[in-house]
Amino acid sequence: MAGVRAVGILSRFATSKYSRLSGHGHRSLSMSSSLLARTYANYEIKDGVAVIRINDPNSKVNTLSKPLQAEMTEILEEIWGNSAVKGAVLISSKPGSFIAGADLNMIQACKSAEEVTTLSQEGQKMFDKIEKSPIPIVAAINGSCLGGGLEFAIACQYRLATKSKKTVLGTPEVMLGLLPGAGGTQRLPKMLGIPAAFDMMLTGRNIRPDKAKKMGLVHQLVDPLGPGLKSPEEATIQYLETVAIEAAKNLANKKLSVKKEKGLVQKLQDMVMGLPFVRKQIYNMVTKKVMGQTKGLYPAPLKIIECVQTGIEKGTTAGSLAESVNFGNLAMTSESLALRGLYHGQVACKKNNFGSPARDVKNLAVLGAGLMGAGIAQVTVDKSVRTILKDTTVEGLTRGQQQVYKGLNDKTKKKAITSFQRDTTMSFLTGQLDYRGFDQADMVIEAVFEDLNVKHKVIKEVEAVIPPHCIFATNTSALPIKEIAAASKRPEKVIGMHYFSPVDKMQLLEIITTDKTSKDTTASAVAVGLKQGKIIIVVGDGPGFYTTRCLAAMLAEAVRVLQEGVGPKKLDALTKGLGFPVGGAALADEVGIDVAAHVAEDLGKALGSRFGGGNVEVLKTMVQKGYKGRKSGKGCYVYEKKSKDKKVNPGVEEILKAYQLKPAPSVSGDEDVQYRLLSRFVNESVLCLQEGILPDPVQGDIGAVFGLGFPPCLGGPFRFVDSFGADKLVQKMHRYEEVYGNQFSPCQLLLDHAKDSNKRFHK
Amino acid sequence: RFVFRMFVMTKTKKTLAKPNVKNIVLVDGVRTPFLLSGTSYSDLMPHDLGRGALQGLLNRTGVPKEIVDHIIYGIVIQEVKTSNVAREAALGAGFSDKTPAHTVTMACISSNQAMTSAVGLIAAGQCDVVVAGGVEFMSDVPIRHSRKMRKTMLSLNKAKTLGQRLSLLGSIRMGHLMPELPAVAEFSTAESMGHSADRLAAAFGVTRVEQDEYALRSHRLAKKAQDEGLLSDIISFQVPGKNIISADNGIRPTSMEQMGKLKPAFVKPHGTVTAANSSFLTDGASAVLIMSEEKALALGYKPKAYLRDFVYVSQDPKDQLLLGPTYATPKVLEKSGLTMEDIDVFEFHEAFAGQIVANLKAMDSDWFAQNCMGRKSKVGVPPMEKFNTWGGSLSLGHPFAATGCRLVTTVAHRLQKEGGQYGVVAACAAGGQVFLTCRLLIHAVYAVTAIRLSSACL
């Protein structure tokens, strides 16, 4: 179960921060000339207030597209030309979405940076007009208000937001390698102060309504309503509209003022920020921090700082120009392309392509209350699915239940849920040592010890007590599913579900089907995974499936690099320099040296010398000496509580000396070491596609980034081959092949791509 | 929520008597005057008020102490010194020390729970004569030391040496001194009652004007009832060492203009619930005498009403907290085989004007009936000329656990006065302006009880 257990920490990127910036749905550019029947936005005048309602007919969310902007401009001109209109309200008719962002396809369609810059400037112009509107415009926000949607809202004179769970505000552009390109970098610092604006734009984090009010991002909050004379969603939108109209009227007749008395702290902060050298300090500090975190691999954050700085120091005109030009340039970078690709991939991997399962999984059982088992139980009860957590010992069970409780309690402490919700969620969990209640189970997920005999024993025990329709899912990181299924009486109901640890943080779920697994079983497993909030890739069966196999290839190279005298610290610096969130040595410690040894040996046996490189004995010796990684306190590093600075384990240095290899100078420069690590990973990925383990490059990229922490700025192994050039990669690999042999032999598919530069994994 | 129904039996109408179930009657009911918290009762304790109501019941009914089988009392905010307030109040009121007493709590329908528990005891043949009632005393509520401080103080008790004690004392920080107030919010949803009422009003499109108008109606009707001497359930209460109190002091009919000036109390700035259209924090106690019909007649009483059916229902505590009457009323009517038209007297607890108007709109809505209640069509609205015509909690006051008995006694008195036969009482189990309950039910709970006025007393 533990193969890639701790890879979790790899994937800082993989939090769902940017999941809502929406950009799907192709839009026709043909515009209706009729003023009355607009497609994307309409308005009516209520009591002297123009209520503008946005509703994209082709999508679940509203996006800031060209046709919407065109209609909006028309409407605004009409309203401004109508002296009877004293104020306006901007509201969405969709329950879960105000405006979820700019239409990404609009950017995708652009051929040059200049074109994108023009797009940005059009947006800036429109929002400038709104900011200077002669009548007050109130943005009434319910649902996602992100990216371009937020920039629209902050150009308005007043903002109201519902406290609905679906209401989030934010500028997630940075997660897509972009910047807020429609005035955001200019308005936010003035509105929130420089530090808060930086925090918001550089992290791209979602801001909940309460926080938004506190920050000054919105002026007033409105509670969502329950059922009344209409459904809660309709009632809430109508209530929001009523309150917004009232606010617009009050703003128009000066009963309500936007200017707020500044508190002492605010005044003090403004005074300090008035000092040029303080501001300079801040720019420097923020730049340093960004460089530390991104290693300079991501250009967008630096450009955001630049735009803010230009706007503040040289005025808004210069700032806006910098914003639009940088926006255009960023849109053309390979980083932005990679991140946008991941965004689309992630959306694609949140769908069930296997249809709806014949039965809903209402009762789930998890075998083994270890880290993985308890984690799986946690994400399941979190969605109100009744879950049995079974272990063989009271100690194991107690630890597992405590883990679930702690996971939920941490959420309570962060105020994401109330203590009451925590308790109700906990009530869905039953911990037990026997098979009671398994006759009601719709799915059993086993997360027991990674040993074929144990798994066979378990599958037989379980099949004796579960009902015929129940699915048996096995959470393994390397054992082939068909070997596990060999012990089953009903192999069509057996499937692999490879979770990543920590389960509640890691978004990826790798589902593995054998040739006997039925389509309904797969559909059901995907449905459960989606319910658990996972991004899902569905891959074929084989040793190490997809993710473990790629990682094992890279780790084998990492061990060789260590044997060649590159210290663990240097190795980590090199891998992080590529954009991996965790270095190779630290990663091995997190995964567990014993697990790594186990996987390396198994895969080596199954897949042959291609998985050679480092000597497995290095890992085995480490395990013998008790250096099992972080969990045992010692691995490549020594782990002490409280000590921030990790020290290299001297015992490991000795072992490495004993297994020392002589580096080949021609391929041992820093860059070559990096490409040796990367190319083995990438080659293995491409081979998985070639062999049919992977159904398509999209899932390959998503799996590598969200499961293994493959550098997001590269967009995944396939995106990397496309942007780096298969021919260049093959050239490098041939050089390494000469020294090390077949571990670096490029696979056929990679060679095909190298030969024909028109061949690309992503169109 | 809690709804009680009462009937008058005439020869043409059904008696609603059930085969093999004893007829249970309300002999009489009394209450202390309801006062705004912090006024004349402010130096008392909860059991003092309870004592007043119980003593008043003894005096008014002349019931021999030794025949009372059991006493049940309700309270919401408990005084820690008198956790079984029923027993303390009963002993102080001169009941026999051989009569067992217990305390119940169910938020704003605590005394409804006391009464229906009594009905249960009698119906089960365990008792013949039961006193039920409730008290609430908001002039003083338990404010506690912080959990940290309490922990330190408890450890101090166990400390053996001076050194241990000093080190414990030394561990006290400023944060320890922060007192803990009774929660103003529902435990499960962290939302205050007023806030919930405001959202409810908005969900049903209840305007500020509608709420103010309803509140004004309540005050005017209460004033009229007071002036005409209809509030005969009130017994005078002698505040020890002070004057005698004999009338409610929260009835204040003003004008729409005056009420319109108030700012929203909970949802700011766009809310509609204000101090003037909400019930206020109140001190008060009530009590009723319940018997089996046989026993009452044997003792020579002329009972005021039969207590028939009751229903408790519960809903989602977030969005439907205050909608109990809508859910419960049709249920109890169906149980008794009656329709809305059969009912002569409606007494609904008025937590907030917005809540009452929202309930009336919900009862008038097919959408609500179909989508939230699983009914084919709307419940139907009680006619206003039969509805809370002697004022309600908005004007008379709402001592949480005392309101239930007031409602039931009022229905009996109104049926007598107006010559009706059937009455219904409904209440929501969480009302009150700033709701200070520290123990709320997980779900809002509602109850309906049907009471039929006995012909014997007419």
* Cβ-defined contact of A226 to B203 (cutoff 8 Å): yes
Q: How far is B186 from chain A (nearest CA, A)?
A: 11
What radius of gyration do chain A's Cα atoms show?
28
DSSP secondary structure of A562-614: HHTT--HHHHHHHHHHHT-SS-HHHHHHHH-HHHHHHHHHHHHHHHGGGG-SS
Which tokens belong to A28? 């026709």
Q: Do A239 and B202 touch (CB under 8 A)?
A: yes
Contact B270 A246 (CB under 8 A): yes
The helix (H) or strand (E) run that includes residue B268 is none
- Choose, out of A218, A221, A223, A238, the residue to mutate when testing the contact with B (most B CBs < 10 Å): A223
Chain-chain contact of B203 with A229 (C-beta, under 8 angstroms): yes
Q: Where are the alpha helices (DSSP H) in A414-546?
A: 419-426, 452-463, 481-485, 519-531
**Neighboring chain A residues of B193 at a CB cutoff of 8 Å:** none
pLDDT of B24 strictly over 80: yes
For chain A, list residues whose CB is within 8 angstroms of any CB belonging to chain B.
220, 222-232, 235, 239, 243, 246-247, 418, 420
Q: Is the pLDDT of residue B309 over 80?
A: yes
Quote the DSSP letter at residue B381: P
The backbone torsions φ and ψ at residue B341, rounded to the nearest 5 degrees and listed phi first, read: -70, -25
State whether A228 and B362 contact (CB < 8 Å). Answer: yes
Of the residues B199, B208, B320, B321, the best mutation for testing chain A's interface (the one with the most A CB atoms within 10 Å of its CB) is B199
Per-residue pLDDT, A24: 41
Summarised one tens digit per residue, pLDDT across range B100-138 is 999 999 888 899 999 999 999 999 999 999 999 999 999
Contacts of B316 in chain A (CB under 8 A): 226
Cβ of A232 within 8 Å of Cβ of B319? The answer is yes
Given a cut of 70, whether residue B63 has pLDDT beyond it is yes
State whether A226 and B362 contact (CB < 8 Å). Answer: no
Collapse the DSSP code of A167 into the 3-class scheme (helix H, G, I; strand E, B; otherwise coil) and give the result: coil
Q: What pLDDT does residue B273 have?
A: 96
Looking at residue B306, what is its pLDDT?
A: 87
Indicate yes or no: CB of B195 within 8 angstroms of CB of A223: yes
CB contact under 8 A, B270 and A222: yes
pLDDT at B361: 96
- For residue B259, the distance in angstroms to the closest alpha carbon of chain A comes to 20
Distance CA B261, CA B385 (A): 29
- Taking 80 as the threshold, does the pLDDT of residue B7 lie above it? no
- The answer to whether A622 and A593 are in contact (CB under 8 A) is yes
Partners of B200 on chain A (C-beta within 8 Å) are: 226, 228
Do the Cβ atoms of A420 and B188 come within 8 Å? yes
**Least Cα separation, residue B154 to chain A (angstroms):** 25
Pairing of strands B237-238, B244-245: antiparallel
Q: Which residues of A are catalytic?
A: 510
- Using alpha carbons only, give the angle A259, A261, A264 rounded to the nearest 5 degrees: 140
How confident is the prediction for chain B on average, in pLDDT?
A: 86
Nearest to B190 among A243, A246, A418 (CB): A418
Contact at CB, A225 and B319, closer than 8 angstroms: yes
Provide the shortest C-alpha distance from residue A48 to chain B (in Å). Answer: 19
Least CA distance to A235: which residue of chain B?
Answer: B203
Given a cut of 80, is residue B46 above it in pLDDT?
yes
Quick check: ipTM above 0.90?
no
Residues on chain B touching A218 (C-beta within 8 angstroms) = none
Do residue A227 and residue B318 have CB atoms under 8 angstroms apart?
A: no
- Out of B187, B320, B361, the one facing A226 most closely (by C-beta) is B320
pLDDT category at B289 given cuts 50, 70, 90 is very high
pLDDT top residue among B314 and A5: B314
> Least CA distance to A230: which residue of chain B?
B367
pLDDT of B76 reads 92
- For the record, the structure tokens of A323 come out as 């914003």
Using a CB-CB cut-off of 8 Å, the residues of chain A touching B189 are 418, 420
CB contacts of B270 in chain A (<8 Å) are 220, 222, 243, 246-247
If phi > 0 it is left, if psi is from -120 to 50 it is alpha, else beta; for residue A741 that is left
User: Measured between alpha carbons, how far is B137 from B399 in angstroms, rounded to an integer?
Assistant: 7
* A94-115 per-position pLDDT tens digit: 999 999 999 999 999 999 999 9
Q: Please indicate whether, in this complex, the C-beta atoms of A223 and B199 are within 8 angstroms of each other.
A: yes
What secondary structure does DSSP assign to A112-152, as a single string? SHHHHHHHHHHHHHHHHHHHT-SS-EEEEE-SEEETHHHHH
Distance from CA of A642 to the nearest CA of B (A): 25
State the Cα–Cα distance between residues A721 and A762, nearest whole angstrom: 10
**Residues of B with CB below 8 A from A418's CB?**
188-190
Mean pLDDT of B420-431: 76
> Given this model, what pLDDT does residue B4 score?
52
Search chain A and give the residue with CA nearest B378: A229
A247 chain-B contacts, CB cut-off 8 A: 270
pLDDT at res. B183? 67
A227:B319 CB<8 A? yes
List chain A residues with CB under 8 Å of B207. none
Give CA–CA dist B161/A529, Å, rounded: 59
Instruction: For chain A, list residues with pLDDT below 70.
Output: 1-36, 643-644
- Smallest Cβ–Cβ distance between A227 and the set B198, B269, B372 belongs to B372
Q: Which of A210, A225, A423, A427 to mutate to test the interface with B (most CBs of B within 10 A)?
A: A225
Active site positions of B, annotated: 108, 428
Residues in A closer than 8 angstroms to B203, CB to CB, are 225-229, 232, 235, 239
